[in-house]
Structure 1
Amino acid sequence: MKQNKNLRCRMLRGSGCCLLLLALYSAGAYALESDGDQPIIIDSNTATYDDVKATSTYTGNVISIQGSIRVNSDKLVVYFIDGEADKMVFTGNLAKFKQTPNEGDQDITGEALTGEYYPKKNLLILIDKATVWQGSGAYSSDLIEYDLKTSLVKAGEKESAGKRVHVVLQPKAKEQPAAKGDGK
């Protein structure tokens, strides 16, 4: 356990440099298939590790990146099982995420007051004032589950008929006919 703690401390000290290198590298690499195999890089104003509870808490302009997945939040708590990140809970005044689903595809973005990310399951759950966008479409609900591997979005709660899901599907822009010459 002590070795894992020392490794995390070393990662935190160099995270600004690692974050910059990762940002430069990931600009050209969108391999969604490998997002789950990439390291999770966290940059924040403060970091605390609790060895007894096996948690790390990061506060202040928190940026976490794994492959093409990026989350910005005010606070992030990482829960470890056997030295691996099992659950990440991010909160903020609308914490935001972004992912590139496939090379050339439009990014999927979202926001919520609370989010839970399960790296091993490729699952992101957005809770309270949650919205997910891709292109001109948007899903809003108090609960949205997003499967990062399959890009499947599930909005709303099955048990609650009182809470509604709001979806906006924009029509594609119509192509304008080519301007006709003046006949000369």
Structure 2
Amino acid sequence: MSPNPRSNAVLALLVAGVLTATGAWAKSSDRNQPMDITSGAQDGNFGDNATTKMWGGVEIKQGTLEIEADQGEIYSKDGQISRAVFTGKQAHMKQINDDGTPIDAVADRIDYDVLNDVVTLTGNYKVTSPKGSNAGQKMVYNTKTGNMQSGGDGTRVHTVIQPKTKAPGATVGSPTPAQPAKPGAK
């Protein structure tokens, strides 16, 4: 399919919709930034009920958001973007949240159901932030509610939760000072 300004604009809007919906994972100002999409090739149709495929190294940059995947597919239903899927060994997404913390996600497949605001990471996924990490074979994340479901399918899930920032002057791992004995105590 030859490049066409209308197709590129629709694709940019689609990807923006995908990324905007990852509310808890997204810096809100990124939505207002230009989107830069490159791939080796793309083929498709931006009609009311259509699919556009990209392959050959898909790279998307918008503000702090970066996505890299071997392939991408964008689906539309009734003229609106309904789903976006990024695949690879591994598809990679990173972004800075509104609070300034980075988030990094990798999976063999990143599938965003735009209509239901649900992101599904499958195939050796790992989501990492300064607060911790979660890894396994499948995670379903509702971007509206923040609810996350992982495991339950016979595979193991590994979660690491980092401790809160230590209090000023406190030393991690230092013993608590001994309290003086009370008079009359044995």
Shorter-normalised TM range: 0.5 to 0.7
User: Which residue of structure 1 aligns with residue 130 of structure 2?
Assistant: 135
1:31–1:128 distance in 2 versus 1, CA, 3 Å: same
- Matched-pair contact (CA < 8 Å) for 1:59–1:76: yes
- Matched-pair contact (CA < 8 Å) for 1:31–1:68: no
Where does 1:52-131 land on structure 2 (aligned, <5 Å)?
A: 54-64=50-60, 69-101=65-97, 103-131=98-126
Counterpart-to-counterpart distance in 2, 1:146 and 1:38: 25
1:42–1:85 distance in 2 versus 1, CA, 3 Å: farther
- Matched-pair contact (CA < 8 Å) for 2:59–2:66: yes
How many angstroms does 1:31 deviate by?
A: 1.9
- Matched-pair contact (CA < 8 Å) for 1:130–1:142: yes
Structure 1 length normalisation: TM-score? 0.65
The one-letter amino acid paired with 2:101 is Q
- Matched-pair contact (CA < 8 Å) for 2:7–2:46: no
Counterpart-to-counterpart distance in 2, 1:94 and 1:114: 8
How many angstroms does 1:166 deviate by?
A: 0.7
1:14-33 deviations in whole A, cap 9, x for unaligned?
x7xxxxxxxxxxxxx9327x
Structure 2: stretches of 5+ with no match in the other structure? 13-25, 171-186
Deviates more, 1:144-153 or 1:134-143: 144-153
1:71–1:9 distance in 2 versus 1, CA, 3 Å: closer
Structure 1: stretches of 5+ with no match in the other structure? 16-28, 179-184
Counterpart-to-counterpart distance in 2, 1:114 and 1:108: 17
Counterpart-to-counterpart distance in 1, 2:42 and 2:85: 14
Q: Which has the higher contact order (CA 8 A, sep 6+)?
A: 2
How many angstroms does 1:153 deviate by?
A: 2.9
Counterpart-to-counterpart distance in 2, 1:57 and 1:42: 13
SS at match of 2:7: helix
Counterpart-to-counterpart distance in 2, 1:122 and 1:99: 18
Counterpart-to-counterpart distance in 2, 1:87 and 1:6: 21
The percentage of aligned residue pairs carrying the same residue is 28
Counterpart-to-counterpart distance in 1, 2:104 and 2:8: 30
Larger radius of gyration: 2
1:151–1:100 distance in 2 versus 1, CA, 3 Å: farther
SS at match of 2:156: coil
The one-letter amino acid paired with 1:128 is G
Structure 2 length normalisation: TM-score? 0.65
